[in-house]
């Protein structure tokens, strides 16, 4: 019995520490990291997929969020993010921390699923399948709109995710055009669907809807192409420890 327990401990230790990243932070970034812990950002945000699930993963947020927006989020907050009243020194420290995390060699802020090189996750396989298919240009534009947002943190390809985000390849069968515009404008915050940030223009919503239509009509082909690109790397999403994210 004791040997088994010791063996379990050794295996677990190996699993936990084997993918450590040796990250050298500057003094300013270390101050940012201290604030990150002090203000409990991780209650709502993830780093490398670990943390709360109300806000987006921040591992690669520096390249999406410009200085003005970061400053505004950290002072007055937003509809969903509390006003934290950071002063300019604290903002600069947080900026340094987020920038130093956002480097190719440090990894992508996605749920860690098998090979971290980014080409084999279910999402990456799906995106590659979409790009390889010859979709009408409007649909491609809609796809790019989604890809530049945080939608894929909650919506998984071809299945309902554990946080209850539906499969978007079948959404046109459930919602008509005006209902789609509505959810793409205001989200459904009570049900866990945040309003898209930044807001989508009327033209972008139209492109997203075109994309949903195309996705629905080509669903079977895309689904098998996604599976093919991922073959040998199947991962059961439902076995992830989701309680960490909720
Ligand atoms: C109570 C939950 C909550 C806390 C605590 C919180 N945030 Fe947020 N944050 C959100 C939500 C929700 C969003 C996305 C919606 C929005 O922008 O209004 C967000 C958005 C952001 C974004 C923009 C991300 C992007 O990709 O657009 C950044 C950067 C950010 N938060 C940083 C922080 C930092 C740093 C802290 C800690 C000092 C923090 N947040 C604390 C909920 C939170
Ligand atoms: C924080 C997680 C989260 C994020 C991020 C998110 N969604 Fe959702 N989304 C949900 C959930 C949960 C629902 C289901 C809400 C409900 O039960 O009514 C939903 C519902 C939807 C629906 C309606 C689906 C249906 O069948 O009724 C659409 C369309 C949608 N989301 C699109 C998007 C788009 C586009 C983005 C990116 C801009 C996005 N979502 C980002 C969680 C999320």
pLDDT in tens, 184-235: 999 987 787 888 878 899 999 999 999 999 999 999 999 999 888 877 655 5
pTM for the structure as a whole? 0.57
- How far, CA to CA in Å, does 119 sit from each of 93, 113, 124, 125, 173? 32, 11, 5, 7, 30
Domain 122-234 - what CATH class?
A: mainly alpha
25-106 falls under which CATH superfamily? Cytochrome c-like domain (1.10.760.10)
- CA separation for the pair 217, 53 (Å, rounded): 31
Judge whether 25-106 and 122-234 match in fold: yes
Separation of CA 45 and ligand 1 centre (Å): 7
pLDDT value, residue 114: 39
pLDDT in tens, 155-187: 889 988 767 889 999 999 999 999 999 999 999
Residue ranges around ligand 1 (CB below 6 Å): 36, 39-41, 43-45, 54-56, 58, 61, 64-65, 70, 73, 78-82, 84, 94, 150, 194, 197
The first and second tokens of residue 108, run together, are 């992508």
Residue nearest to atom 5 of ligand 2 (CA): 151
Residue nearest to atom 27 of ligand 1 (CA): 65
CB count in 10 Å sphere of residue 224: 11
pLDDT in tens, 65-115: 999 999 999 998 887 778 889 999 999 999 999 999 888 776 666 544 434
**What's the 3-state SS for 35-88?**
HHHHCCHHHCCEECCEECCCCCCCCCCCCCCCHHHHHHHHHCCCCCCCCCCCCH
Kindly list the domain boundaries of the chain, sorted by start residue. Answer: 25-106, 122-234
Separation of CA 56 and ligand 1 centre (Å): 7
pLDDT in tens, 115-165: 434 455 677 789 889 999 989 999 999 999 988 777 887 788 998 876 788
């Amino acid at each position: 019995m004791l040997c088994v327990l010791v063996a379990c401990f050794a295996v677990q230790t190996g699993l936990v520490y084997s993918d450590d990243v040796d990250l050298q932070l500057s003094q300013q970034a270390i101050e940012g990291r201290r604030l990150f812990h002090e203000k409990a950002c991780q209650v709502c945000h993830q780093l490398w997929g670990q943390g709360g699930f109300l806000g987006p993963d921040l591992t690669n947020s520096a390249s999406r969020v410009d200085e003005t927006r970061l400053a505004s989020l950290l002072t007055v907050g937003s509809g969903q993010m509390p006003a934290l009243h950071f002063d300019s020194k604290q903002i600069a420290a947080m900026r340094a921390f987020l920038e130093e995390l956002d480097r190719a060699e440090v990894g992508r802020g996605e749920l860690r699923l098998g090979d971290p090189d980014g080409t084999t996750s279910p999402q990456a396989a799906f995106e590659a399948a979409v790009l390889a298919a010859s979709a009408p240009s409007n649909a491609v534009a809609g796809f790019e709109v989604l890809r530049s947002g945080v939608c894929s943190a909650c919506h998984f390809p071809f299945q309902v995710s554990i946080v209850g985000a539906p499969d978007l390849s079948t959404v046109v069968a459930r919602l008509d055009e005006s209902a789609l515009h509505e959810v793409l404008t205001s989200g459904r915050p009570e049900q866990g669907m945040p309003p898209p940030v930044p807001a989508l223009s009327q033209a972008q919503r139209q492109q997203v809807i075109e994309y949903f239509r195309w996705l629905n009509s080509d669903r079977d082909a895309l689904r098998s192409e996604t599976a093919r690109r991922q073959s040998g790397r199947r991962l059961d999403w439902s076995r992830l420890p989701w309680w960490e994210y909720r």
